[in-house]
Chain A
Amino acid sequence: MILQLFEGEKIRFAAFDADKDAEALSKWTHDPEYMRLLSPDPARPLAPFHIKKRFEEMEKEAGRDFYYFVIRAREDDRALGFTHLRWIEWNHGNAHFDMGIGSASDRGKGYGSEALQMLFRYAFEELNLYRLTGHTMEYNTGAQKFLLKHGFQLEVRRREALQREGRYWDGLTYGILADEWANANR
């Protein structure tokens, strides 16, 4: 039995700490590349003040159908990114997740992979979900490779569901079942 769900090799899952994290999260929102890889909504910079306020709002929901983690580097405790489970349908065992590694210099170092494996463990072995759903965009080929590498299957292709840089792109939805993850990790 794994008892340390929040401690990885290079990273740890931590709670959002407004004093420590708001600056970093605000900085990430000023990077349009990051914002566009993360979401189809307009990239919008937010001041640390707005980040804190948003967290206060989210905290009202936290724990019921929303679980948020700041991903921290074990070496110096800096915030690397975030991941969360939202819109959990307990009666069906399905949840949607998002993940972002904020600084370009922290990407491609395996932090996201380790975070996703920890998130799987949390979702499947603590929350006992049946499956996990992830969304990305046609232009985010990095995320597509990342999801496939970790066992997700492409399930839905919403044609021309988003517009950016003057053209349409498909919206992609991926899924993995708890059994698929367990079989791959036996």
Chain B
Amino acid sequence: MDNQLFNGTLVRLAIENPETDAASLARWERDTEFERVLSHKPVFPSGQKKWRERLEEAPDERQFWFSVFALAEDKLIGFVGIFMVRQQHGDCMVGIGMGEPEFRGKGYGTDALRLALRFAFRELNMHRVALMVLATNARAIRSYEKCGFVREGVTRGADYRDRIRRDVISMGILRSEWERANSR
């Protein structure tokens, strides 16, 4: 059995310290561009204390969030998570954010996403993993396609910010597709 669930080539997944994690999250959420691609909710800083409270909540079987650490630098650079786990359907969503700008576009996010997919398919036994992404976020879409995600649909103009309407793209990957691409 291959037990390398939490270690990739560039990053590792961990849950180590709600206090320091909260400090990073509170810093990242002040980056408006970062926040806007992450969520459709109005950008609004919740602050370190709130983040800490959230991170200290008892683990919930419907979501598995991980802190992402760069292996070489041993530095917290982002987060990734499997959420909205619906075991009866074998369906869930994945979310990812690389909070530290200097670690974007260098494969760290893709590596973290690969670990999250492996966790979803080989540990949570999901049938499908889905995500939503802004149509304008080309870098993210490239990374998702690299990991095997397929475009499933477009929600036209669902994102409205700075008086600009943007499409939101739904993407998904099935276990059979992932297994074909990752059989080793």
Contact = CB atoms under 8 A, between A and B. Distances in A.
Do A and B touch directly, given a CB cutoff of 8 Å in the complex?
A: yes
Interface of A: 26, 29-30, 32-33, 36, 42-50, 53-54, 139, 163-166
A50 B122 CA distance: 24
Interface string B112-144: 000000010111110000000000000000000
Contacts of B1: 36, 139, 164-165
Given A47-B17, A47-B18, A165 B122 contact: yes
Interface string B143-184: 000000000000000000000000000000001000100000
B31 interface: no
Given A49-B18, A166-B179, A44 B64 contact: yes
**Which bracket fits the contact residues of B?**
20 to 34
Contacts of A36: 1, 3
B6 interface: yes
- Pick the 4 closest A-B CB pairs, nearest first: A32-B5, A33-B3, A45-B15, A163-B125
Contacts of B102: none
A164 B56 CA distance: 28
B56 A53 contact: yes
Contact of B124 (A42, A50, A54): A42
Contacts of A42: 61, 64, 119, 123-124
B40 to A, nearest CB: 28
B16 A47 contact: yes
